[in-house]
Every structure is written in structure tokens, then in C-alpha cells.
Chain A
Amino acid sequence: MIKFVDICKEYKAGVTALYNINTEIDKGEFVFLVGSSGAGKSTLIKLLLKEEGVTSGRVFLNNKDITWVPNRRIPYIRRQIGVVFQDFRLLPNKTIYENVAFAMEIIGAHPREIRRRVPMILSMVDLSRKAGSYPDQLSGGEQQRVSIARAIVNNPPVLIADEPTGNLDPDTAKEIMRVLQDINNRGTTIVMATHAKDIVNTMKKRVIALDGGRLVRDEQKGGYSIEIPSV
């Protein structure tokens, strides 16, 4: 589903953000992307979303090389990737329903299809009763669920979550992870960048760890840090 081949990313100031990254994420996987601040997690995500270009190497999405696509094709690549942010990024002047519907309007969905699908997605994230509410009337966890709903309403094969629990308390964070797991169970590939050690250690998913721009660990059913067995 996603493949990074010999990826290097160097910025103009001579800063190397990523060095020789080689990894592949299959369809339906749930992968944690971990590492300290500045390790390169956000840069890797930006390369996938085509916010940044590579210095060298190749990026593949759904078996298609998206490394050097022309700018006019970028929106169509992004339609295959749902994105959830740490700060939710909801539109304050639109209701929950409108925030989610917005994502479908942008890609030209038929109004009838919007009316059919948005309630279904809100039901999936358990927010049907709050469809007419505005973001500032919701809790942090509810806002993040709306954000997730917007990210998946167009049924993208991949969901990127960039620190989705960063602004949430532990209980709410668990709630969000349940929602993400549910989405993953339905076949969506999930890549989640996170500092949340507890979540990573609990869920035992594949862990890709970056450090100083290099891929230092790729572990199935991994933890946040390398577990050193006690002697």
C-alpha cells in the first residue's frame, strides 16, 4: 500500500531530515511511527501527502509511484489519504454534520450521496445525536471523533493520524484508539505518528521507529522503546 524506497530528504539549510529510509506498509496494517521530536516522523508524513518533495528516492502509494507527480495530480493523491491532526482542525462556523459533509462537497459528491453517507459515518464514531452541534460545544474527544469522521467519509484506503491523542486525557485517548482500531478492522491502513508510550505499548502493533532521520527499528507487535529482557 505504502512504500518508501531509499528516501532522503535534505532541506536547503543543509539539514538532513531523513536518510536512507526503506520501508513498506501493507494494506490493512496498523503502524505506529515513533521517535523523538525532530526524528523525521512529520517529514515522512509530508512526503506521503506531497506537502514536500523528496531529495532522492521513491514514494509509492497503492503500487503507483507518486514521487514526481505534477502539482495538478496532488489533490487526487490526497483523496486516497485521510488525515487526522492533533489540533482537530475543524471549521468553527460549521456544524458537525457540515464539517464532515464539507469533505464530500469538495470532491464533488452528489448531495444525495452526502445525505446518505454523513449520518452513517457520524453513527460509526457515535456522534449522531450531536450532528447539529458546533465544535466549541463538544469535548476534545468528541472533536477528534468528528475529525476522524471527516477523514474517513470519502472512504480512503489509508488514514494518517498525526499525534491524534496529543491533546487528550488518557481515557479519551483510549476512546479514540478504539475508534481507530474499529476503522482498521474494516480494512483501512492506518499510520499513526505518536509520542504516547502507553498506547503503543498496550496495542502491540507494528512499530517503525525513527531517530535523527534514520529508521532504527521496525518491529511487529513492538513497544515504544526496545524492550531489554531482564536477566
Chain B
Amino acid sequence: MWRNRGMGAASVTSISAVLLILGVVLILVLSINNVVLDTKVKFDEIEVFLEDDLDSSVLDNIENTVKDKNGVISIMFRSKDQALDLMKEEWGEEAYLLEGLDTNPLPDSYIVKVNDIEFAEDLVNTIKMLDGVEEVKYYKDIIDKLLIFAGYIRFGGIVIIGILVFVSVFIISNTIKITVSSRRREINIMKYVGATNGYIRGPFIMEGIFFGIIGAALSIGLVYFGYEYFYNSMNEKLYNLFTFYLVSPESIFRDIAIMFGTIGSGIGALGSLVSLKRFLNV
């Protein structure tokens, strides 16, 4: 194995590259999922933002009109003060930033819960036409765009990973070929004496798995520590709203370690098997 350091390094690097891309795609997809999940909770809700200083009659009209519509589960008034309190709760440690506001910029609103996606679109269009309604916030299009975006990430990731896996297997099989060539005489004798294919293959597969594990360890380190650095930097720069949706490094470490170890070993073993098939017919 050590006679062949250059090719060994190439094998390890190619596996690391595959797993690094996989790690980035995973983190992106998981984070987008968090956004989608959080947004989906709001998806059942339509937030109707109201103009300032409305008469109670206008408010009653809005409430009664909406309540009577099919598919509406509930309608609830949220005052601007309640909205500000809710925001302070969501912001957590950074809520002190909101203390400095002289006036409350948030509007009064109605929170409307619906039970049917199709109905929600029609309902939104109706509400928009009512007097006193400034804006209707409706998350379905955001979710649709996020899901499409997540889909592109996943598809692009799979394509790139697929190509890199193929390249890795190719590189490893050529690396193993050098070891096979150097041991050809020994293997030839093994076959005459009656060694089974499994016995002959064993050491080469172990070599491939070894490259796979080293590559996996490298990529686990890069992904975990690299992502941890990025995550902490984002938090420090007060982008808490952004990192709220990012999956935390600690939560993914164990799963990534197991996944990368397995996939890395798998690629290594596959490369060895391909090499043995091509160069040894074993």
C-alpha cells in the first residue's frame, strides 16, 4: 500500500471530494427543510394586515365576512402590541434590539386558519378586496418555490455526486491495479494451489476500504469543522434569523460520521472489486 503513495493520495482525495459535496448538499437540503417546516406551520395561517386606526365596524365586517367563508377554521385578532411581543419571543437573545424602538411599527392583523390549500387561494383574493385590509401574507408560493429550489439542489447534488462516485471508483480501481500487478505472481500461484476468489480478493478489498475510511475521516473533519466555523460566524454577525433555520453542527455530526464512513468504505470496496474484475478476472 505504501509503495503507491501518489495513487493512494489520489484515491483518498477523490473519495473526500464525493463526501464533501454530499455533506454540503445534505446541510443545504436539511436547512431548506427546516425553512419549509417552519413556513408550513404558517401555511395553515393567512395573516391579514390591517390599516391603522380602523373603526370597530370595519373590523367586524372583515371578521364576519371571513368567518362565514367555507374552509375557515378560525379567525383571531392580533394587536400590534401582541405582534411585537411575539417577535421578541422569536428573536430570543437578540430581542433586546427591539427595546430601542420608539414606536411599534407592526400593524394590527387577523390570523385566519384554513383547512384547505385550494380554498386558501380563493379566500386570499376575497380578503384582499375588503375595506381596511392593507396586505395579505400568504406562504404557499414561498413553500412552492422553496420545494422547487430544494428539488434543484437535490437533483444537482445527485448528478455531481454520481459523477464523482464514478470518478472515485475509477481512480481507486487503477490504484488497486498497481498492487494487483505487483502481486500477480503470488495470485497466480494462489489460484493453482486452490485459493478461493474470496481469499484472493480479501486483501485488495481491505486496501480499498482503507482508502475509503481515510477519505471519509478527512471529509467528516472538513464538513463538521468547516460548517461549525460558518455556523458560529453567522451567529456572531447577528444573522440569527438566518441561523435559526440552519441545521446545527452537533445535530448532524453522528449521522454524517456514520453515513460518510459507510459510503466511503463502500466506494473503496467497489473500486477494488472493479479492479479485480478488470485486471485479474477474480
- Spell out A's residues near B (CB within 8 Å): 49, 71-72, 75-79, 83, 89, 91, 102-103, 106-107, 150, 154
- Whether the Cβ atoms of A72 and B185 lie closer than 8 Å is no
With beta carbons under 8 angstroms apart, the residue of B185, B194, B197 that contacts A89 is: B185
Q: A49-B192, A83-B192 are in contact. Are A75 and B197 (CB under 8 A)?
A: yes
How far apart are A151's CB and chain B's nearest CB, in angstroms? 8
Closest Cβ neighbor of A108 among chain B residues: B199
Compute how far the CA of A103 lies from the CA of B193 in the bound complex, rounded to whole angstroms. Answer: 6
- Whether the Cβ atoms of A102 and B194 lie closer than 8 Å is no
How far apart are B218's CB and chain A's nearest CB, in angstroms? 32
With beta carbons under 8 angstroms apart, the residue of A71, A72, A78 that contacts B194 is: A78
| Chain A CB within 8 A of B251 CB | no
How far apart are B201's CB and chain A's nearest CB, in angstroms? 12
With beta carbons under 8 angstroms apart, the residue of A77, A79, A91, A154 that contacts B186 is: A91
Compute how far the CA of A76 lies from the CA of B191 in the bound complex, rounded to whole angstroms. Answer: 10
Closest Cβ neighbor of B188 among chain A residues: A89
| Chain A CB within 8 A of B258 CB | no
Closest Cβ neighbor of B195 among chain A residues: A106
Q: A89-B185, A91-B185, A91-B186 are in contact. Are A72 and B192 (CB under 8 A)?
A: no
Closest Cβ neighbor of A49 among chain B residues: B192
- Whether the Cβ atoms of A75 and B185 lie closer than 8 Å is no
Closest Cβ neighbor of B282 among chain A residues: A71
| Chain A CB within 8 A of B103 CB | no
Q: A72-B197, A75-B196 are in contact. Are A106 and B190 (CB under 8 A)?
A: yes
Closest Cβ neighbor of A94 among chain B residues: B186
Compute how far the CA of A9 lies from the CA of B188 in the bound complex, rounded to whole angstroms. Answer: 23
Q: A72-B197, A75-B197 are in contact. Are A102 and B192 (CB under 8 A)?
A: no
**Dominant SS among interface residues on chain A:** helix
- Spell out B's residues near A (CB within 8 Å): 185-186, 188-197, 199
Q: Which chain B residues border A75 with CB–CB below 8 Å?
A: 191, 194-197
**Dominant SS among interface residues on chain B:** helix
Q: Which chain B residues border A91 with CB–CB below 8 Å?
A: 185-186, 189
- New A-B contacts (11) at CB < 8 Å, excluding given A77-B194, A106-B190: A71-B197, A72-B197, A75-B191, A75-B194, A75-B195, A75-B196, A75-B197, A76-B194, A107-B193, A107-B194, A150-B193
- Whether the Cβ atoms of B188 and A78 lie closer than 8 Å is no
- Whether the Cβ atoms of B196 and A72 lie closer than 8 Å is yes
Closest Cβ neighbor of A83 among chain B residues: B192
Closest Cβ neighbor of B186 among chain A residues: A91
Compute how far the CA of A42 lies from the CA of B116 in the bound complex, rounded to whole angstroms. Answer: 81
Q: Which chain B residues border A150 with CB–CB below 8 Å?
A: 193
How far apart are A71's CB and chain B's nearest CB, in angstroms? 8
With beta carbons under 8 angstroms apart, the residue of A71, A72, A106 that contacts B193 is: A106
Closest Cβ neighbor of A99 among chain B residues: B189
- Whether the Cβ atoms of A79 and B189 lie closer than 8 Å is no
Q: Which chain A residues border B185 with CB–CB below 8 Å?
A: 89, 91
Compute how far the CA of A89 lies from the CA of B186 in the bound complex, rounded to whole angstroms. Answer: 9
Q: Which chain A residues border B186 with CB–CB below 8 Å?
A: 91
How far apart are B199's CB and chain A's nearest CB, in angstroms? 6
* 3 nearest A-B pairs in the assembled complex, by CB-CB distance: A79-B194, A78-B194, A106-B195
Compute how far the CA of A106 lies from the CA of B193 in the bound complex, rounded to whole angstroms. Answer: 8
Compute how far the CA of A77 lies from the CA of B193 in the bound complex, rounded to whole angstroms. Answer: 10
Closest Cβ neighbor of B190 among chain A residues: A106
Q: A89-B185, A91-B185, A91-B186 are in contact. Are A79 and B193 (CB under 8 A)?
A: yes
Compute how far the CA of A86 lies from the CA of B194 in the bound complex, rounded to whole angstroms. Answer: 19
Closest Cβ neighbor of A150 among chain B residues: B193
Closest Cβ neighbor of A147 among chain B residues: B189
Of the listed residues B189, B194, B195, B197, the one surrounded by the most CB atoms of chain A closer than 10 A to its CB is B194
How far apart are A77's CB and chain B's nearest CB, in angstroms? 8
With beta carbons under 8 angstroms apart, the residue of B189, B196, B197 that contacts A102 is: B189
- Whether the Cβ atoms of A154 and B192 lie closer than 8 Å is no
Closest Cβ neighbor of A85 among chain B residues: B192
Q: Which chain B residues border A71 with CB–CB below 8 Å?
A: 197
Closest Cβ neighbor of B183 among chain A residues: A91
Q: Which chain B residues border A83 with CB–CB below 8 Å?
A: 192
How far apart are A190's CB and chain B's nearest CB, in angstroms? 16
- Whether the Cβ atoms of B193 and A89 lie closer than 8 Å is no
Compute how far the CA of A77 lies from the CA of B191 in the bound complex, rounded to whole angstroms. Answer: 11
